[in-house]
Every structure is written in C-alpha cells, then in structure tokens.
Amino acid sequence: MRILLGITGGIAAYKAANLIRGLSELGHEVTVVPTENALRFIGKPTLEALSGHAIETDMYQDVAQVRHVELGQQANLILIAPATASFLARFAAGIADDLMLNAVLASNAPVIVCPAMHTEMWLNPATQANVATLVSRGVRVMEPASGRLTGDDSGPGRLPEVAEIIEFAIAGLPLKGKHVIVTAGGTREPIDSVRYIGNSSSGRMGIELAKAARNAGAQVSLIAANIDLPLPKGIAVTHVSTVDELELAMDRECDVMIMAAAVSDFRVQNPYLGKLKRSNGLNLELTPTKDLIANYAANHPNSIHIAFALAEETKERLIEIARGKLWDKSVTAVIGNSFEALGNKDTLVQFVTKDDAIELSGSKAEVSKSILELVSKLIR
C-alpha cells in the first residue's frame, strides 16, 4: 500500500522514525511529509534515510509537478502521527496552509490521525470538538495512550506504541488481505476489422469502485474494457476488448468480483476480415454471449459476486428487476441503476441483496465508497 505519513511538530515526532521502519518492513511504500515544525523535533536526514526519498515541506518547490495533488492522489492511506492540537484544528477547519494539509485535502484516501499532546490540550473542548468534527467526516482517530508525558506529568495524551499504531492503521481497514476484482468499461464485438458493436459505458463507475476497494485496504485487480479515462494508480490493470477477452481475464480466484463492465449480450457470428463496403450490403448474424458473472458465480461459489442491472424503470421496478437477476445469476448482490448513470459523474443506485434494497446516491466516488462498505459487511 502507498502510505502518506504526515508528521507534525510534537515531542513524539521522533517516534515516527520507528513508524517509517515498521511500515516499510511490512512492504508498504511510505512517503513522509513532515510539517516545518516537525523538523524542529526530528531531523530531515533521519527521515530521508529511513524513507529512502527526499523530504519536502515547501508547497512552492517543484511547482510544475503540483506536488500536493500528486502526493494526495498517489496515497492509498494517509496516516498522521503524531498529530498536534494545531494540526487537528487546521484539518477540521480545512485550512490548507502547508504542503501536508494540501496533500491531505487533495486526497480521497482514508485518513487516520494519532493525536499526541499534553493531557490538558487533549481534553480542551476545542481539541475535542475538532476531533468530533473529523470523526463525523469519516476520519479514524486513534485515542492517545495514557502515561508519561513531556516532563514529569502523566495522563492521556501520549502517542501509542508504534506497533499499536500499525495494528490500528492497517488491521482496521475493512478489506485488508482481500483480493477484489473489478471489471469496468464496455466490451466491443467486432463486425469487421474496424467496426464493432459497443456501448456507451465510460468505465467511470468501475474505476471509482476499484479506488474505493483499494482505499478499503484490498488488493485490487481492475479489468478495463475500452476505457478512455485515466486509470487509478496503485491498481493492477488488465486491458481487454471483447467478451471472450474479458472472460479470460476474469478466470481467477478472488474474494470479491464486481462486474461493473457493460458486457455485450450479442456477438457477430462471423466477423468480416477487412472493411465491409457499403456495396456489400450488411446482414449481421448475431449469437448471444455468455453470462460472465453468472458463470463466475457458479464456478467460484465461495466468492462474493456483485452484478449490475441497467434498466430505465421506476425505483420499485428496478428493485424487482435486480432481485430477479439476483436469483437468475445466483450472485450475492445486484446493483440496479438507470440509463442516466451512463457516462455521468453522479449516480443513484439500488443495492439489492436477498435481505435488503438500499438506495445510494451521490457522486460515483461517494456511492462506490458506500458500496464497498456494504461489501465489507457481506464478507463479515
């Protein structure tokens, strides 16, 4: 996993050295971004030597690369340890006044913060209100440990042990250790060497689902069918075009198979080699393609299978259609959506299982996050 480790200017910043080592030893790629004040407590050379990369704090260096956006988008997980009272306040207020907070705000990755400060600072209503705000937005806040603080004092406010932080950050991800395959885009069945039967699926929903699965800690494989959009980083991608190629790419074990690709229901029996001319006339003989997700579900009964149903119907009818597909295909869940979702950034879907029909709406990124939360619950 690509972890952005933010270090802020508290006395416990020196412990970040062991955190970098611990996370790197587990095979994670750790990018360290300290605040200016953190560098008063731990030296740049230590952070550079342990992380193996140059340490930056300046927003306005290498501006051409727009580093804060790059850092934010590359991260699969953001961990801020230690987090000062000042950082919590700035993050809660959305104040992006340094490289690290800009990167944090520019990211969709899950954020974990490990506050560490004097007991009074921790219990101060301002700090507690900032923590409550962050928690309400989905940030995971690790409760500080109780014990010896700077000087002779002791009480709650200590940075927890490095092993505990790693356990909290990594083990807490709902899809940690799970392999999720997401198919995305739309297949193309050749008519001749240059023409095809295709569909208008952009692949956006599948991409967002893949990102959400990655952000939930899963190992993700994305099977991309004819997608023009930029593909997410940190995810293994297999490119396919036809239904047969898609079937071949799907032929592997996984914990969760999400079939977001729009698959052609028909293929041309004998595609023409070369380019058909108008004068040839055209009489296409079509044969139905296989139901890939139903076949996958039959061959991999221990996986979770999520199918999609696209229909231009009322909500009730869409749920009915999705429920029908649930039984026909023997899948775990069917996500019903309407034609409007095609190519759009926003969507409204019905997540239908044998027990429930849950409506989710918002941007495809938000809906994907909710879908992966529901999938995590199904695994449990």
Ligand X SMILES: Cc1cc2nc3c(=O)[nH]c(=O)nc-3n(C[C@H](O)[C@H](O)[C@H](O)COP(=O)(O)O)c2cc1C
How would you class 49 by CB atoms within 10 Å of its CB: exposed for 0-12, middle for 13-18, buried for 19 or more? Answer: exposed
Chain residues 150-179 in contact with ligand X, contact rule CB under 6 A: 150
Closer residue to ligand X in complex, CB, 135/378: 135
**Three-class secondary structure assignment of 204-226:** HHHHHHHHHHHHCCCEEEEEEEC
38 binds ligand X (CB under 6 A): yes
6 binds ligand X (CB under 6 A): no
Which residues, in sequence order, are bridge partners of residue 80?
6, 113
**Alpha carbons 112 and 131: distance in angstroms, whole number:** 11
Least gap, CB of 158 to ligand X (angstroms):
9
Q: At what angle do helices 125-136 and 85-93 cross, to 10 degrees?
A: 50
Nearest of 28, 34, 31 to residue 12 by alpha carbon: 34
Chain residues 77-106 in contact with ligand X, contact rule CB under 6 A: 84-87
Q: Does 160 sit behind a cis peptide bond, omega within 30 degrees of 0 on the bond before it?
A: no
| Segment interacting with ligand X, rule: CB under 6 A, options 33-41, 215-223, 260-268, 365-373 | 33-41
Tell me the catalytic residues.
199
Site string for ligand X, 306-335 (x = CB under 6 A): ------------------------------
37 binds ligand X (CB under 6 A): yes
Closer residue to ligand X in complex, CB, 11/106: 11
11 binds ligand X (CB under 6 A): yes
Contacts of residue 43, Cβ cutoff 8 Å, sequence gap at least 6: none
Identify the three-state secondary structure at position 251: coil
Q: Of residues 10, 206, 232, 336, which one binds ligand X by CB under 6 A? A: 10
Q: Of residues 80, 92, 121, 268, which one binds ligand X by CB under 6 A? A: 121
Closer residue to ligand X in complex, CB, 90/305: 90
Count the residues of the shown chain that bind ligand X, applying the rule CB under 6 A.
16
What residue type is assigned to position 61 of the chain? Q
Closer residue to ligand X in complex, CB, 124/238: 124
Q: Of residues 42, 55, 116, 262, which one binds ligand X by CB under 6 A? A: 116
| Helices and strands counted in the chain (H then E) | 13, 19
Chain residues 265-294 in contact with ligand X, contact rule CB under 6 A: none
Q: Cα separations (Å) of 15 from 18, 101, 116, 165?
A: 6, 21, 11, 11
The phi, psi pair for 249, rounded to 5°, reads -70, -30
Least gap, CB of 76 to ligand X (angstroms):
24
Cβ atoms of 68 and 103 closer than 8 Å: yes
Contacts of residue 349, Cβ cutoff 8 Å, sequence gap at least 6: 335, 336, 337, 341, 359, 360, 361, 367, 371
Least gap, CB of 58 to ligand X (angstroms):
14
Least gap, CB of 38 to ligand X (angstroms):
5
Closer residue to ligand X in complex, CB, 39/348: 39
Polymer length in residues for the chain: 380
Cβ atoms of 183 and 142 closer than 8 Å: no
Least gap, CB of 98 to ligand X (angstroms):
7
130 binds ligand X (CB under 6 A): no
Q: Of residues 42, 117, 263, 352, which one binds ligand X by CB under 6 A? A: 117
| Segment interacting with ligand X, rule: CB under 6 A, options 31-39, 196-204, 251-259, 355-363 | 31-39
> How far is C-alpha 185 from the chain's CA centre?
17
Closer residue to ligand X in complex, CB, 101/246: 101
Q: Which residues of this chain interact with ligand X, rule CB under 6 A?
A: 8-12, 35, 37-38, 84-87, 116-117, 121, 150
